[in-house]
Amino acid sequence: MRKSMSLHYNDMMKTYTLPGTADKETVVQKMFTSAAKAYDINNTVLSFGLHHHWKRLAIGLLGVEPGHVVLDLCGGTADLSLLAARKAEKNGKVLTVDLNFAMLKVGKEKLEGVPSPDRADIDVVQCNAETLSFRDGSVDRLVVGFGLRNVSRLEMALAEIHRVLKPGGRFVCLEFSTPTNALWRQLYRLYSFFILPWIGKVVSGDRTGIYEYLPASIARFPDQERFREIILKAGFREVSYRNLSGGIVALHIGVK
């Protein structure tokens, strides 16, 4: 059974070719522009609602305090921004940063529909994660949820994250990862490559291939230990990670 599942997985990997570094930004932006309006509902359907729990845990580990400036990188539809803004309170500031205009538009509309008397102001900023338009040491906390897989140059994005954080500032990354149990890993891959793309297309009507790209990009992203090493090389200290849902996702934490 395990051998059969592995063969199916390898066959599926061969049918989808991830875009190269030179083309990745253009391809990914086209996909997210197409999927933006259905992005939130698809997240809920495809994760069985677990993404809300994962995001709350991420903000809890981020350690946002009243008055903090928080950057939500690849923040898209602003779920993490809203959670962080409640922690930062009135005197704080949250920046929802994403390269994709359509995703930010959905996020801005969401923010406009949420009352804000007791939370920090949230600004929406269109910006590339690899060339952030913020001063050195200008951010207290930085969170990124399910976004670093999509950048063209991971090391460059991490260098920018390190640059804009204040000394002692904390970085938390919530990202899909590698399930720790072998059987669970194979079952997850079957779901990702065979069931998830079908559900994603039905819910969103998308035809750009984003729901084939999603599992392929997860499979190629560094596993928990390798990603921890990359974060350390970017200059962070006290780097650790926490597996969630058996390693389907992982929270990586680092301090500048």
Tell me the CB-side half-sphere exposure of residue 128, using CA atoms within 13 A. 12
**Residue owning tokens 């999509």:** 150
pLDDT tens-digit series, residues 11-66? 444 455 777 777 889 988 998 998 899 889 988 988 889 999 999 999 999 999 99
Which residues of the chain, if any, have pLDDT below 70? 1-16
CATH of the domain at 27: 3.40.50.150
Q: What is the pLDDT of residue 86?
A: 95
Task: Write down the pLDDT at residue 110.
Answer: 92
| Contact between residue 221 and residue 204 where contact means Cβ atoms under 8 Å apart | no
Instruction: Look up the pTM and report it.
Output: 0.89
Q: What percent of the chain has pLDDT over 70?
A: 93
pLDDT at 199: 81
- Give the count of domains, the chain: 1
Nearest CA to 76 out of 52, 44, 111 is that of 111
Sign of torsion over alpha carbons 244, 246, 247, 248: negative
Using only the alpha carbons of the chain, give its radius of gyration.
18
Looking at residue 195, its pLDDT comes to: 81
Domain that holds residue 173: 2-255
DSSP state of 245: G
Query: Cα(253)–Cα(256) distance, rounded to whole angstroms?
Result: 10
